[in-house]
Chains A and B, each alone.
Chain A
Amino acid sequence: MQNLNPVRKSERALLEDLSNGVKIKVEKFSFYYDGVQAIKNVSMDIKRNQVAGIIGPSGCGKSTFLRSLNRMNDVILGSKSEGRILIDGSNIYDPDVDVVEIRRRVGMVFQKSNPFPKSIFDNVAYGLRINGIKDRDYITHKVEKSLKEAALWKDVKDKLNKSALELSGGQQQRLCIARALAVEPEVVLFDEPCSALDPTATAKIEELIQNLKKKYTIVIVTHNMQQAARISDLCAFLMLGELIEYDVTSKIFTKPSKKITEDYITGRFG
């Protein structure tokens, strides 16, 4: 039977990946800004319903790598990529892929919370509206659901029409998370989401991320190694655009296999 319907090797590998829960497969991915290589031949698998942490010194390409996962780097002029990034087995860098749809499926929360100067409600509804949803009841329902998912509903349910700019820093960041969740992404990317927040607000976001992974695949870039240790399941150490090590978080932080990783996590540089 097998000989009558041969499955090609690559397809078999793909099926295997999917059954192993691989959501994002990065294959020999490189990225260039104006001819300067920012990401060097990185390959890694990111699994469904897990938190993948990315650590590394400043300028190591963490953010560039993260922004490659939803093609936000396309916006930058003179940039170029090589290799493939597969989400559920299809390459998001294929020429015929609709980049707008990729960005809907792969949400992003930025380093500096960027609520739009609109009401709290309109912020969360923004993504729904630009994706063509007009049904008011649905939007109202979805806004409430997303705010609940982002653990912000209790704080804001009585002031949905107030400006989002009146919220505190931590609340603004959770609003941005709610906004990202409203368009039903499959993956959520976090780019140092707590770097401007106090410890209490940070703890809330970390708890939130732990809850979110039940439903979404999470990739988080962080400057804070304790944070990576606390919340990630797998952790990648990036340096000068190269993936030095990628392993189970507890192993990275207790017995890393490379000397340079150990030097970094013990604070010898960075």
Chain B
Amino acid sequence: MTKKRLKEIIGFVLLRICIGIVAFILIVILYDIISKGAGKISWEFLTAMPKKGMTEGGILPAIIGTILVTIITAVLAVPLGMGCAIYLNEYARDNKITRLIRMSIRNLSGVPSIVYGLFGVVLFVQLMHLGTCILSAGLTLGLMTLPWTITASEEALKNVPNSYREGALALGATKWQAVKTNVLPYAIPGMLTGTILGLARAAGETTPILFTGAAFYLPFLPKSLFSQFMALPYHLYIMSTQHHAITKVRPIAYGTALVLIVLVFTLNLSAIILRYRLRKRKME
């Protein structure tokens, strides 16, 4: 065997090991959670209130809380993020200020979530007097998701060929017409995918909502957006570290983890399906 061929084989084996390790870790995590959590999943677990200091009953308030917070997050992050991306990619001149703004946005996506949590407390809870509630938590997560939404949306816009813009302009379209009718329709699938992935990430966050509205134990559903709420990731955190009977509630923790994973996975899957369908429709 030649030396060249040997090197080729070693290279491939190393790369296979890399992917193998990653796949192995993922499978172990999923197996652990599914095997220990699946037994706990029942209609009652999904639809009942927690009882007796969370040692019995279901996790309905946490499911509802997470869904509501994610909706608020989307309401803030989706239109604002897409709007910023459209401005930056289609309208903004390429000068120092634009570059600075773009760089800041990239950097914001690296800010630790605890910092967003603290910022949310100061801005929404205290300064805007919203109190600790679903709205404050959702808005905080919205801010955290914004850089992701903007960056993903901008990438999607960049992928639309410039000839679509020029072609429209050359027919007498205004810039906005060109963007609206001949750029956005082709960028929307990519924009939505990036956005939903950002939302899925936000749905699983604990720290930002910890300060801004998530509660330890509320055996009833939130009455309004100004109520405190239970959330799946926070519930999981409580069940696995703060509860007075940790070993007793372990199955509930695993059940909660499974529900959270399924929720996030559903969001991701819907992003993939949505992208596929929109793309197919556009190309026909």
Q: Chain A: residues with CB nearer than 8 A to chain B? A: 70, 72, 75, 77, 100-101, 103-104, 107-108, 110, 112, 114, 116-117, 126-127, 129-131, 163, 165, 176, 179-180, 183
Report whether B284 and A100 are in contact in the complex, using a CB–CB cutoff of 8 Å: no
Report whether A72 and B164 are in contact in the complex, using a CB–CB cutoff of 8 Å: no
B residues less than 8 Å from A107 (CB atoms) = 170-171
Whether A114 contacts B171 in the complex (CB less than 8 A), given A126-B181, A163-B283, A163-B284, comes out as no
Report whether B172 and A131 are in contact in the complex, using a CB–CB cutoff of 8 Å: yes
Residue B216 is within 8 A (CB to CB) of chain A in the complex: no
CB distance from B279 to the nearest CB of A (A): 10
A residues less than 8 Å from B114 (CB atoms) = none
B residues less than 8 Å from A131 (CB atoms) = 171-172
CB distance from B238 to the nearest CB of A (A): 50
Within 8 A of A (CB), among B155-194: 161, 163-164, 166-174, 177, 181-182, 186
CB distance from A112 to the nearest CB of B (A): 7
| Contact of B172 (CB < 8 Å), options: A100, A110, A165 | A100
A101 and B172 CA atoms in complex are apart in Å by: 6
Report whether B167 and A114 are in contact in the complex, using a CB–CB cutoff of 8 Å: yes
Closest-by-CB residue of B relative to A115 is B167
Whether A130 contacts B168 in the complex (CB less than 8 A), given A100-B173, A117-B186, comes out as yes
Q: A103-B171, A107-B170 are in contact. List 8 more A-B contacts (CB 8 A).
A: A70-B170, A77-B93, A77-B94, A100-B173, A100-B174, A126-B182, A163-B284, A179-B171
Closest-by-CB residue of B relative to A165 is B283
CB distance from A186 to the nearest CB of B (A): 12
Report whether B282 and A183 are in contact in the complex, using a CB–CB cutoff of 8 Å: no
**B168, B172, B173 pick with most chain A CB within 10 angstroms:** B172
The 5 closest A-B pairs by CB, nearest first: A104-B172, A127-B171, A114-B163, A108-B170, A130-B173
Report whether B172 and A183 are in contact in the complex, using a CB–CB cutoff of 8 Å: yes
| A–B Cβ pairs within 8 angstroms, 20 of them | A70-B170, A72-B169, A75-B166, A75-B169, A100-B173, A101-B172, A103-B172, A104-B172, A107-B170, A108-B170, A110-B163, A110-B166, A114-B161, A116-B164, A126-B181, A126-B182, A127-B172, A131-B172, A163-B283, A183-B171
A64 and B174 CA atoms in complex are apart in Å by: 21
CB distance from A152 to the nearest CB of B (A): 17
Closest-by-CB residue of A relative to B165 is A75
B residues less than 8 Å from A104 (CB atoms) = 171-172
CB distance from B236 to the nearest CB of A (A): 45
Report whether A126 and B166 are in contact in the complex, using a CB–CB cutoff of 8 Å: no
Report whether A72 and B284 are in contact in the complex, using a CB–CB cutoff of 8 Å: no
A107 and B166 CA atoms in complex are apart in Å by: 12
A199 and B217 CA atoms in complex are apart in Å by: 77
A116 and B171 CA atoms in complex are apart in Å by: 12
Report whether A130 and B172 are in contact in the complex, using a CB–CB cutoff of 8 Å: yes
Closest-by-CB residue of A relative to B170 is A108
A residues less than 8 Å from B161 (CB atoms) = 114
A72 and B174 CA atoms in complex are apart in Å by: 12
